[in-house]
C-alpha cells in the first residue's frame, strides 16, 4: 500500500532535545532521521502531504518535573532544543503541527490535540485534503508516536506505523513493545518503510 495523494505522512517530534545531546534524548533517536527523510521523499514524489509535529512547551510547563509533571525541561518554545533535527530533509510544503504549547496541559503527547499555523487541527486539515490514511514515523514510540496513532485511529483514519522509523524512551523496559501492541490493538498496521512503499529502483 504505497503513498498516494490520499495518504499523509506524519513525522512526530524529531527535535534536537529528543536526539543525541538533547535534554530528553531517546536512545538511538537519531536513527529515525534517514527513515524519515526517505519516507518524506517518497511521500512527496507520490503527492502525499507531509506534516511534522513539534513539542513546543512554555518554559514553565506543567509537563516538566519542576512544575509537577514527569519530565526534564525539553523543547521549550524558541530554543535550539525545540528545533527539528538539522539533518531532517523535508519537502518545502511540509506543514508544522504544534502541540504541548498550552501552559495548562500536563501531557501534550497527541499531535491530534495540536494545531497548524492557521489554527486548524490535524483532523480538519486532513479531511480538507481528502486524506483517509496516515503514515507515522518519529519519536518517541511509547509517548508521542503512540498517542498520535491512537488519536488518528479515534479520528477514523487508517494508520500505518513505520517500525524502522520510530524509537522509544523505555523508562521501563518493554514500554515500546507495549506501545506497539497498543497501537496494533487500536487497528494500526505495523510495517517497515520498504514493506509499505517498496524501495525505489
* Contact (CB, 8 A) for 159 and 1: no
140 binds ligand VGL (CB under 6 A): yes
Nearer to ligand VGL by Cβ, of 43 and 139: the residue is 139
110 binds ligand VGL (CB under 6 A): no
Choice among 99, 113, 142, 146 that is catalytic: 99
Nearer to ligand VGL by Cβ, of 140 and 188: the residue is 140
Specify whether 99 is catalytic.
yes
Nearer to ligand VGL by Cβ, of 41 and 98: the residue is 98
How many Cα atoms are found within 13 Å in the side-chain-facing hemisphere of 153? 17
Choice among 113, 144, 146, 164 that is catalytic: 144
* Contact (CB, 8 A) for 165 and 138: yes
Which of 139, 157, 180, 193 forms a contact with ligand VGL (CB under 6 A)?
139
Cβ burial of 185 (10 Å; 0-12, 13-18, 19+) is: exposed
Specify whether 30 is catalytic.
no
User: Peptide bond before 140: cis, by omega within 30 degrees of 0?
Assistant: yes
* Contact (CB, 8 A) for 100 and 61: yes
Q: Could you give the residue numbers annotated as active site?
A: 13, 99, 144
Which spans of this chain sit near ligand VGL (rule: CB under 6 A)?
A: 13, 18, 55, 71, 139-140, 143-144, 169
Amino acid at each position: 500500500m504505497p503513498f498516494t495523494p490520499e495518504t499523509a505522512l506524519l513525522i512526530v517530534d524529531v527535535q534536537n532535545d529528543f536526539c543525541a545531546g538533547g535534554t530528553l534524548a531517546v536512545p538511538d533517536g537519531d536513527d529515525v532521521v534517514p527513515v524519515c527523510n526517505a519516507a518524506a521523499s517518497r511521500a512527496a514524489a507520490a503527492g502525499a502531504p507531509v506534516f511534522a509535529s513539534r513539542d513546543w512547551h512554555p518554559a514553565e510547563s506543567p509537563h516538566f518535573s519542576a512544575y509537577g509533571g514527569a519530565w526534564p525541561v525539553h523543547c521549550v518554545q524558541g530554543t535550539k532544543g525545540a528545533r527539528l533535527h538539522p539533518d531532517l530533509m523535508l519537502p518545502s510544503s511540509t506543514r508544522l503541527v504544534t502541540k504541548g504549547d498550552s501552559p495548562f496541559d500536563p501531557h501534550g503527547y497527541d499531535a491530534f490535540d495540536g494545531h497548524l499555523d492557521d489554527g486548524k487541527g490535524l483532523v480538519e486539515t486532513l479531511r480538507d485534503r481528502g486524506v483517509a490514511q496516515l503514515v507515522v514515523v518519529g519519536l518517541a514510540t511509547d509517548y508521542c508516536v503512540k498517542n498520535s496513532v491512537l488519536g488518528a485511529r479515534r479520528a477514523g483514519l487508517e494508520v500505518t506505523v513505520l517500525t524502522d522509523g520510530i524509537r522509544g524512551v523505555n523508562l521501563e523496559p518493554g514500554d515500546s513493545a507495549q506501545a506497539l501492541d497498543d497501537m496494533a490493538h487500536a487497528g494500526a498496521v505495523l510495517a517497515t518503510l520498504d514493506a509499505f512503499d517498496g524501495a525505489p529502483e
